[in-house]
Structure 1
Amino acid sequence: MSDGGERTVEPAEPLPRGRPDPATDAFLAHRRLLFTVAYEMLGSATDAEDVLQETWLRWAGVDLTTVQDQRAYLVRITTRPALSRLRTLDRRKESYVGPWLPEPLLTAPDVAEDIELADSVSMAMLLVLETLTPTERAVFVLREVFDLAYDEIAEAIDKSPVTVRQIAHRARAHVAARRPRGVVSSAETRDALAAFQRAVETGDIQSLLAILAPDVVALNDGGGIKQALPRPIVGADQVARLFAIYWNTIGATATLQPTQVNGYPALIVRLNGELDSVMAVRIDDGLISGIYAVRNPEKLSHMERETSLHR
């Protein structure tokens, strides 16, 4: 982990076996990019790794002499299983217990340094992408984040370039209406989180109210495995009281540890020294407008090591 001096490692992808060859070299050269594509489409690192396994199996059978642009080709063949899996995930979410949140990643410092990448993988943005249809999400991610040409996207999702342009325009407008207002810097997020942490640890309701937006929303994902809020809590008064009660209940055994999640400052909650949950926030106009706490242990495996993403 970042606070313990452990080295940065790559996402856990399939490692091709045998002696290096051109196909293996190309796949390994682009694997961080492919993982990032799949993760942004799915909001799940575990499913993204499964998609990379499928991508490798397809890539291993390709005649490289027919491939003009290996990056574009690999992104295309990653998109197809990711889109299929995204539709399956949408059906699974219908029976999910309580609010569903993306799987958080303990990200390497280089992610935060790329402002556009950090913004695109932030918990706040991933939740905005959840409001798109699977096809809209795929088109938005490939066009706006990875700058693929419309004809390349069309081939990846089996649509015409004209249709892809229409989908991209619709998705762009949808995201623009729902994303955080303006790009929020890491420093701004860090300052807001520090004020929030101090207020929670001291039980200062007024300080909590001062940093929370009037319409703040708190979401808690326990996945039916860990106790969690069954529905969103809305409004500064309700959320401030919630955290005051929460910390009064667990404070004797709990610590809040600043960290870097999905490219932005976040907090790790530890109970008796053990990882209990990860808390990310959305900032609008300098105030916390969204609090996203993931407790589901099945979603916390990527908090044990840093993940380096790439565009």
Structure 2
Amino acid sequence: MTATDTAIDAFQEHRPVLMGVAYRMLGRVTDAEDVVQDAWLRWSRADRSDVREPRAYLVRITTRLAVDRLRQAQARRESYVGPWLPEPVVTDFGPTVPDTAEQAVLADTVSLAVLVVLESLSPLERAVFVLREAFGLPFAEIAATLERGEAAVRQLAARARKHVEERRPRFDVDPAQQRDLTERFLAAATEGDLDGLMALLAPDVRLVGDSGGKSKAPVRVIETADKVGRFVAGASRQGGAEWFDFRLTEFNGGVGLLALDKGKLDAAFQLGIVDGKVQYIYIVRNPDKLQSLV
């Protein structure tokens, strides 16, 4: 086996982890893929003779590239039209995550709700949070990755964790309940049944739509059950929900709903459930963010 073959095999072995780090850092599949491709180019050109732990080396490269990309992305998002949501991604953790508890942690850190909260962290705080909370890296390794002292990294981790805990919605994660509520919500929405919707919505429910100005969606967050219920029922009547083919699926660690118009994916929906009520409704209609679900 040549040195090139060895490099390719090592990279492919760790590629799922690298994509996991990059996606949690950036919230966009395309950006994550670009970062991982750049990591491959650096890995293929590097002197690997002294690399004892390829996984740690590759995670280090990927994280640094993602931090740089995130700084650029944050500047671009200031001009984004309407609310910004992460790009939905199919979550299949596969046989590399055999432990149920570990899979639950990975699912939580890739949820739309958590990724939205991570947007409010600094790039370094986000990197520390992702590496520590999602992948369990030691503080010493994170410090080496970010070229910071271990004490400083511990402070970043504590600050990021506190920030996320204070802002993270406490959604119920029972898949059966989420599926049931999603199906009931879909039935009420497609029928324009305002009373049926109101029975499902929490009083302080929030609806967040992301279109990037490229399709129809609210340009502001809609709040309270009355306003959200009337918006959903009205949109169903005006938009002709009967024209859409709705499919239940799973993305970002939870049950979701896809709306297809003549076979073309038009929107992705996901509900956040708390105490049997819909607390959040996420709607992604930006066509650039639907490609990974097609």
TM-score if structure 1 supplies the norm length? 0.87
1:247-301 Cα distance to aligned partner (Å, 9 max, x none): 1122231232111111211001122332111011222222221111111111111
Q: For 2:181 and 2:74, how far apart are their aligned partners in 1?
A: 32
Distance of aligned partners of 1:136 and 1:233 in 2 relative to their CA distance in 1, 3 Å threshold = same
Number of corresponding residues? 287
Which has the larger helix fraction? Answer: 2
Distance of aligned partners of 1:223 and 1:287 in 2 relative to their CA distance in 1, 3 Å threshold = same
The aligned counterpart of 1:68 is 52
The aligned counterpart of 1:207 is 196
- 2:237 maps to 1:253: no
Q: For 1:254 and 1:30, how far apart are their aligned partners in 2?
A: 39
Percent pairwise identity: 48
Unaligned runs of 5+ in 2: none
2:266 to 269, 276, 281: 276
Q: For 2:221 and 2:57, how far apart are their aligned partners in 1?
A: 41
CA offset at residue 182 of structure 1?
Answer: 6.2
**CA-based RMSD:** 1.9
Greater Cα offset, 97-106 or 60-69: 60-69
Q: Secondary structure at the match of 2:242?
A: coil
Distance of aligned partners of 1:182 and 1:95 in 2 relative to their CA distance in 1, 3 Å threshold = closer
Q: For 2:211 and 2:151, how far apart are their aligned partners in 1?
A: 42
Unaligned runs of 5+ in 1: 1-17, 305-311
Greater Cα offset, 119-128 or 199-208: 199-208
- 2:118 maps to 1:134: no
1:123·1:281 contact (CA, 8 Å) conserved in 2? Answer: no
What residue identity is the alignment partner of 1:297?
Answer: P
The aligned counterpart of 2:152 is 163
Greater Cα offset, 87-96 or 52-61: 52-61
For 1:214-253, list aligned pairs within 5 A. Answer: 214-249=203-238, 250-253=240-243
1:45-89 Cα distance to aligned partner (Å, 9 max, x none): 000000011101111123333122221111111000100001111
The aligned counterpart of 2:138 is 149
1:266 to 253, 256, 261: 256
CA offset at residue 35 of structure 1?
Answer: 0.5
- 2:32 maps to 1:48: yes
1:131-186 Cα distance to aligned partner (Å, 9 max, x none): 21111111000001111111211122221110000000011111111223266222
Greater Cα offset, 51-60 or 266-275: 266-275
Q: Secondary structure at the match of 1:214?
A: strand
What residue identity is the alignment partner of 1:302?
Answer: S
1:80·1:156 contact (CA, 8 Å) conserved in 2? Answer: yes
2:4·2:44 contact (CA, 8 Å) conserved in 1? Answer: no
Q: For 1:79 and 1:59, how far apart are their aligned partners in 2?
A: 13
TM-score if structure 2 supplies the norm length? 0.92
Greater Cα offset, 204-213 or 39-48: 204-213
1:122·1:264 contact (CA, 8 Å) conserved in 2? Answer: yes
